[in-house]
Each structure stands twice: as structure tokens, then as C-alpha cells.
A and B are shown apart, each in its own frame.
Chain A
Amino acid sequence: MAEEEGWVVPFVPFASSIDSPFWVRYCREKLETIQLSEDPISLRASYGVEGPPRLQCQENAFQEQTSVVANERVGVALTLRGFNTIESFQKCDKNQMIHDFFAPEFLDSSQSALKVMNSVLLCVYPELKSHRVLYWMGVPAILTCSGKSVRATQQTPLTEAWSAEEIQQLDNNIDSLRRSNLQENSQGLPPFFLVTKTTCKSFSVESYTQLKQQSTSPDDEIVFAFCDPSGPTPIQPQQPMGWPLRNLVAFLCHHLDLGRKTVKVLSYRPALIRRIVEEKESSGGDMGDKSILLTIRVPSKSDFEWPAVDAAAPKQHKVLGWELNARNKPGPRWVNLRPLLDSNHLAIQAADLNLKLMKWRMIPTLNVDQLQKTKVLLIGAGTLGCSVARVLVGWGIRNMKIVDYGKVSYSNPVRQSLFTLEDCHFDNGSGRLKAAAASDALKTIAADMQSEGIKLSIPMPGHPETRECIEESVSTLDALVKEADAVFLLTDTRESRWLPTVMAAAHDKILINAALGLDSWLVIRHGAGASDETTECPRLGCYFCNDIVAPENSTKNRTLDQQCTVTRPGLAPIASSMAAELMVSLLHHPKRQSAPAPKAGSMGAFSPTAASDDPSSSGPLGIIPHQIRGSLVSYTMMAPTVPAFKHCTACAAPVIEAYKKEKMDLVFNACQSKDGVFLENTSGLTGFRADAAEKIADMEDWDEDDDGDM
């Protein structure tokens, strides 16, 4: 007898196919029920016969009692071994594990063998914090010794060996078998079964003995069949066989005493019941029954016994079956579940959705992406700063830097919406730094917020400081302004607004200035950086353009009530909301900070319809006023447009030029100067006043009789 007849049967391993809902469910169970227990968990999985060979684990795996296996699939018992640390996962001897799981049961009795032949191992390490799962699936199969592989001598497509009626009969018989199994609570197709041309029986020693006794003619030849997960594929010579065949053959040898015998095996690949759906309609093709009859030589029992290291020790069995990873290396697989489990991810999506719905339903030209990328600088983290930040978050602004020198004090939380009492208690009641506290608070609201708080004291005219101090503050603030797309000026004194105004003009940035009185508020957008006189639209004014005196130290000699900015609480949110909305409108205008304002005098009462006619309209978000002044006494608002003042102490051309040339000198001198003399000179205000005084004096000469009217 030629030992080397035929060919070595190639086997195709299973691929794991674990639905992500299964993992979601597992992670939940882990948190709630399983916790730290490493006991094995019994679940159900299945594989189909439509190919390619996949062992699928679905969410219903956890429902032991009611879990349903579809009619065209084979149910499998899945044992899940969870690990609590990645080291224990790695260190665990997998070869040993799969051996101990399979070999003892398999060799013990035919019943236990049949049970374990239909079982799968799944090692899992859930890394819950990063929403990932590491898993390794093993489908056990007992291994023949080297050189003793299963060999086949003949391969025949079933369609050639049996008639069409016989094949139809076979299908019917298998279906009846499946149904009779239903009564025993075993669902789905039977993984292994005995087949003759006339009948089909469940796979067991008893049925085999029965059939053998009844068998009289060659037509009753018993064929050992298994559902082949490889599915119907065009048949090649030496066609690879499904993994279950390995254990089937081993069973024949160990429990049916068929070692060294030649038997017929049926790789059952029925006509397509389900198939992989392509996005186009499939053009058909012959997908009929592709079952294969294989004549194989069953190895003997000794062919499964591996010599031990010590010749005297009992022989061992080896079990293989751990799945290779996507690159065909023996290792586990990671599944990234972040899209499903990361609640931050969900929060971000939800916030985005909100804005996008607004865009979709109401304002199609809204540029949500731009908003998200806009870098905003908030100068001041007080009542105005907190409220502006809060509104901007709603608009999707995710890139904010906040500048403030102070600490959160006990009077702050009630009016400054980003702070809590916790912030005040910090450092024995000193309080947290406002800028940092505000930045952190924003991160607790929007999951993808990128915020930063910077402690900085703004150099102010009339407040002398050392040169070093000024240089440091100026360079930091200058860099911040330069980097920002929009700047909000939300401080509490007039003079602190001077330097940022100059910087924004020098760098030509959007700057929105908000200021509060006791019961009135102002929001003003500064004109664009100093521009030519020749442009059609005159440059818009800044906060200081209406002033004929330079800013100076307004804080000395103030009474207590003058030292704290006392305003009606409702003002800050109103002004802040206006300021934030103004910025968003501005961002949607093609000219941005150079966008024109409504003609002076045209803004009487606000009218919703006026918006579209006005040339200063930004489009869907309406007009963009230059300034808005509101009063809580009369509940009125007005929106004047004021052009820039040629000799403004903050935005006049000479000042800006001086800044661009030698910023440190300019700032230092302005700070040192008392009574604002330096700035008045630099901006030309002094000269202007002198001219004006002359003209008034000239006018006085006309009428010397009126001495009380001036």
C-alpha cells in the first residue's frame, strides 16, 4: 500500500467576526456584572455555510436561554475568558489553554467529544478607558504528528457522484434532521451528521452502529458529513476543506475505531441560501450545490500522539487553532470601539449636530467649519468675559485664549458664570487665577474645547511700570493678538483698553469692545487697521475716537463704589450676547473687519426687513452695526455709525506707526506719562485742540457783548 498516495488535505481556518454590538454589550456586562471576575463565560456563536469561513459572534450571544441560531447556520458554544490586565493576557500560555480546553474532553468519551468539537475559545482583554478591546479567538483542532497529516485520495463533486434527486433528498433529510434537533433545543444546522443516499442521521456512535447494521448495499455506504463553512466556491483540484473536518477525522479514529481505514467524507456546501450582497445586483452565476465527496485515509490513534521530551513520559496531544491576525502572524486583534463607546465623542457629535441643523434648516450659508477653526482671544475674564465665552461655545468656537490678571474672589461666582465657589476657596481663600479657572470651566462644557488661560497684566497709560515688566507683557500680548482671528476687549477700565486697541489696529484684527455702565451698555467693533484715506468707506471708529482726552489713570482717588464696577446684573449677559453675535456676523462678511456699517442716521428703529436692502448686510445674519448702545432705563437700543477720528489717541495713524516701529518705546512712554500728555502729543490731539481753541477764540472776537453764552 503506497503510503504517499493522494495529497495532504489543506484546511482553511475560521476568521473571527465579532459584531461590535457584542463588544458594547460585553463592556457593559463587564462594568456591571462581571467586574473583576475571570471565570469563563459561556456564550453562543455561530458559523454559516455561505462562505468565507467566519465564526460570528453577535449581541444575542449573551442570551443563553433564548438565543436563536438561524436555520442556515451552525450554532457553536463560545467560552469567553476575560483578563483584567494586559500582562495576564499576554503571559497566559495559550497552547496550554487550548489543549486543556479541548484534549481531555475530546479523548474522554464520544459524547464529551461531540460537545467540545463544537466549541470555541475567546480570550479578551477590554481596555475600557481607551475604548478598545484586545481579543484572540481559538477554534480548537487536534493535531496529527508531523508527516502524519490527513491525506485524501479522491475528490468528486457531489453533483457528479449523486443524481439531482438524490441531492434534493439529501437536502430534505438534512432539513428534517435539523427540525428534529429543534425539539432537543439544539438549533440551526447540525455541524456533523451521517449520510447515506436514502437517509441522514445525527452524528453519534449509536447512529453509526445502527446504520452499519442496516447497511446492505453499496448505496447505503455511510458518508461522514459536515457543514463546510467555506461555502460554495468553484471546485479546484485538492480543494481546501473547512476546519471542522480536522476534528471529524480525529473523532472517526478515536471513537469509531476507523483508524487506518479509508472513508468517504462529505463537505456539505449547499446551494446558496444567503450570499454576500454587493452594492450592485449580482449578475447571477452558477451557485448551485458545491458539495464535495472526499475519500480520505483516517490516521491511526498513534498518529495523534506526540513524543514527549522525556521518552518515558506519557505521550501528549497537541491542539492548535489560535487565529492569526490580519497580517497572518500569530497574535491577537485590537478592536477600536471609540465611535461607539466614547461618550466624549458622542458629546462632540451632538454639539456639532445642533449647529449643523441650524445651517441646514435656517441658514444654509452659515459657515460652521470656519467658526470651529476661528481663534478667539478674550481679554478679561470677568462678567463680560465669562458671558461672551459662554455664548461663543454655543456657536461652536473651540479655540479660545483668555487673558486676565486677577483671582476669583468671593463676589465673583454670582455674576461671572464660569466660576464656582470652589474656585474661591482655593489657596486658603485667595482664589484660583481667573484666566486658568475660566479656561478649565470651558473644558467641562465642550468636550473638544481647546482653551488656555494666560495670566497677564496689561500695561496701561498713566500706570507707570518698570521697562522689563512692560516689555514682557507687551510681547506676550502682542503675540496673542497676532495669532488670534478675533479679539474681545472685556476689561473693566478705560485705560486698559488702550493697548489692545493699538495692537489690533496694528495687526488688522477683528476687535469687539464691550463696556458697561450702571444701566447702560456699549458694544463696538473697531474699524480695521489704519487704512488709506482713499477707500470708499471711511474707516470706522474705535472706543477712543469720541474722546478728546487721552486715557489716563482713572483708578486713583476713587471711592469704594467707584472702585468696583457696579452694574445691573442683566447688563453683562445682554452686552456679551450682542458682542458674540456681532463677531459671528462679522466673520460671515467677506470683508470681515472692513465690512461697512449702515449709513449714519439710517438706523432709527430696528426693522427686520431693512437688513437685506442695506449694503452693509452680511447676508443671512443681517446687518453689522458699528456700535450698539443700549439702556435698561428706557429699554431702547440704538446703533450709531461713527467714523474714525484722525487724531484718536489709540487708532490714529501716527500712533499705529509708532507702535509698529518701536512698540516698547511707545508703550513705556504712554505708561509713564501722567495726564496723558504723551499720547495727546503723539496722536496730534494736542495740536488739534490748539487749533480748535484758536478757532473758538476767533469766534469770540466777533461778539463781545455776549459774555454768558459760552
Chain B
Amino acid sequence: MVLRGFRRFRLFFSYFKDLVGQEVTVELKNDLAITGTLHSVDQYLNIKLENTRVVDQDKYPHMLSVRNCFIRGSVVRYVQLPPDGVDVDLLHDAARREARGG
């Protein structure tokens, strides 16, 4: 059963599903930034990354052996995308449609 609240925000879920396989950098609210291949995403925008490497590795020695990770959606600040990995017009249209309720 999908709650009404989630139905309104399926746009980004669908959008991230299309980005699976691309290289992204996820910046977390605790300032940790991780680059990796987007493996999967879910309705909470939890993210699973593969082949990860930490930006500024020296500051986070404990992450050295981590190559795959699960990131809780609630702690994400930004998801940095490849500039040519985004079809801005398509996204723009989809946002307008979603806002209209269609």
C-alpha cells in the first residue's frame, strides 16, 4: 500500500531508477562525500553504491576497506550527477506534469 505522501514524490524515485549504473557522488549531512556507481534506489531514496571511494579519504581512514555501501535516504544532503547524465528538459516536463497531478 503506497501512502498518498509517497505517491506525490515518485518523480525523484523514478528519476534515480533511470540513473542506475551511472557514477554519482553522494554528499551526506555529516559532510562525508562518497563517489560510486549507483546500484539501486528505493522509495525512501535510500541509495546503494558500488565500487565506492571516499572523497578526502585521509579524513576517513575507517572507510578504507569499504567498496559497497548502503546509504540511508534521510542522511543525504546532495547527490552530484554527471552533467551530461541529466536530460533537464525531460525532468522539467515531468516535474510540471507531477505538479499538475498527472
Say whether A associates with B.
no
B residues sitting closer than 8 Å to A (CB atoms) are: none
A residues sitting closer than 8 Å to B (CB atoms) are: none
